[in-house]
């Protein structure tokens, strides 16, 4: 059963949110690895793989931790932070442990003005989730994730009041890998639909559409208002071999959608027509967080009076800035510059 205000760390009854997000709260450990690292350590390159703590600690010993950078992460976490940094207002339902990483994560949300359902004092004992993000010389990101207490995120962590006061509910696709996480997504979607709040879903990673296809279909249900995915995820989910076929099939399950096409920009369907979003040419260093940033910038755009074409342009520019540096997020001043560049 979803909670009302009693669970929330914030009084949500009087606050309007552009986006209510729910997802795995993870602290990212971002590091660079050599091209042969994956074969040597039997890591599946280019995907997100769930691992236990023992396996993750083994990998952390194999890399140069002194050169690693720690930051607040999680797919939906990155997205709601982006919405706030652009000037919007977000709420994030998640679960961290009463440990140092949990405090680090919640402090990071607070610093970025994101309201949440928990306080550190009321967090459970255990370990906060960690995501080891390995970037190879080709700029591709590979992730090995230990969920920790985040695997216990459940419907009780859904904040009904915050959802009722939001324009969009944003569901993180990674949650389908956990039975309780899937139920939490369904509960958030049910509350949103019952209160005529728009629903947005991100497929999050090709592995989610590949290995959890049934669960992903369950959460999509009859439809979602807005879907975010990349071209590989779109083709896997629809069982097609081309983006042209995939986009036609996606119309059956999403009223509107955005398909990111890497160096080729993005394709937006606004419910009526297809809009091709031109790419911004950059030298990609690290693709970690590009999709999260795209979603955050796009959601900010459409909740602040911008058309789908304008929001797509903002999202394309913002994600191009993310891939040209290490780490999944930008600094607030970089966000202001992006808005300034688009207006100029």
CATH number at residue 185: 3.40.1190.20
Q: How many residues does the chain have?
A: 344
Give the pLDDT score at 335: 81
- Residue of 318, 327, 287, 328 lying closest to 76 (CA atoms): 328
When mean pLDDT is compared across 61-65, 132-136, 171-175, the lowest value belongs to: 61-65
The CA angle 59-179-23, to the nearest 5 degrees, is 65
Least confident stretch, 24-33, 193-202, 277-286? 277-286
Q: Are 10 and 91 in contact (CB under 8 A)?
A: yes
pLDDT at 30: 86
**CA–CA separation, 111 and 117 (whole Å):** 16
Q: What is the pLDDT of residues 71-125, one digit of tens each?
A: 899 999 999 999 999 999 999 999 999 999 999 999 999 999 999 999 998 999 9
Per the listing, tokens 């607030």 go with 332
Of the candidates 147, 82, 139, 174, the residue with the CA atom closest to the CA atom of residue 288 = 139
Query: What's the token pair of residue 234?
Result: 């779109």
Q: CA-based angle 287:110:295, to the nearest 5?
A: 35
CA distance 100 to 253: 41
Cα 137 to Cα 284: distance, rounded to the nearest angstrom: 10
pLDDT more than 70, % of the chain: 93
Mean pLDDT over residues 246-271, rounded?
95
C-alpha R_g of the chain: 18
> pTM of the full predicted structure?
0.90
Beta bridge partners of 200: 170, 226
* Residue 1 reports pLDDT greater than 50: no
Instruction: Quickly state the pLDDT bin for 231 (edges 50, 70, 90).
Output: very high
CA distances 41 to 31, 35, 36, 53, 261, Å, are 15, 11, 9, 16, 30
H-helix or E-strand containing 1? none
Helix, strand, coil content of the chain in percent (nearest 5): 45, 20, 35
What pLDDT was estimated at residue 334? 83
What total of structural domains would you count in the chain?
Answer: 1
Tens of pLDDT, residue by residue over 139-163, are 888 989 999 999 999 999 999 999 9
Domain enclosing residue 184, as ranges = 5-343
């Amino acid at each position: 059963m979803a909670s009302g205000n009693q669970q929330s760390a914030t009084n949500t009854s009087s606050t309007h949110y552009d986006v209510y997000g729910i997802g795995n709260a993870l602290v990212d450990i971002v590091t660079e690895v050599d091209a042969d690292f994956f074969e040597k350590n039997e890591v599946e390159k280019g995907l997100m793989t769930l691992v236990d703590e023992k396996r993750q600690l083994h990998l952390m010993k194999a890399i140069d931790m002194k050169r690693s950078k720690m930051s607040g992460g999680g797919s939906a976490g990155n997205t709601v932070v982006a919405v706030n940094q652009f000037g919007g207002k977000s709420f994030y339902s998640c679960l961290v442990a009463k440990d140092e990483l949990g405090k680090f994560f919640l402090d990071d949300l607070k610093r970025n003005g994101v309201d949440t359902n928990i306080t550190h004092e009321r967090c459970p004992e255990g370990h906060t989730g960690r995501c080891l993000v390995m970037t190879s010389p080709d700029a591709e990101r590979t992730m090995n994730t230990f969920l920790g207490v985040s695997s216990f995120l459940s419907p009780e962590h859904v904040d009904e009041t915050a959802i009722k006061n939001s324009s969009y509910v944003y569901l993180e696709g990674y949650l389908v890998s956990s039975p309780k996480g899937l139920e939490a997504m369904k509960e958030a979607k049910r509350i949103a639909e019952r209160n005529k709040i728009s629903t947005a879903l991100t497929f999050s990673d090709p592995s989610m559409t590949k290995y959890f296809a049934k669960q992903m279909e369950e959460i999509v249900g009859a439809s979602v208002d807005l879907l975010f995915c990349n071209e590989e995820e779109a083709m896997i989910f629809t069982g097609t071999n081309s983006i042209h076929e995939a986009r036609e099939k996606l119309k059956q399950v999403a009223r509107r959608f955005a398909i990111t096409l890497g160096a080729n920009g993005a394709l937006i369907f606004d419910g009526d027509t297809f809009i091709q979003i031109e790419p911004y040419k950059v030298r990609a260093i690290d693709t970690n967080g590009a999709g999260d940033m795209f979603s955050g910038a796009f959601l900010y755009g459409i909740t602040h009076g911008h058309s789908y074409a304008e929001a797509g342009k903002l999202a394309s520019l913002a994600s191009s800035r993310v891939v040209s540096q290490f780490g999944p997020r930008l600094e607030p001043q970089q966000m202001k510059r992006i808005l300034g560049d688009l207006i100029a």
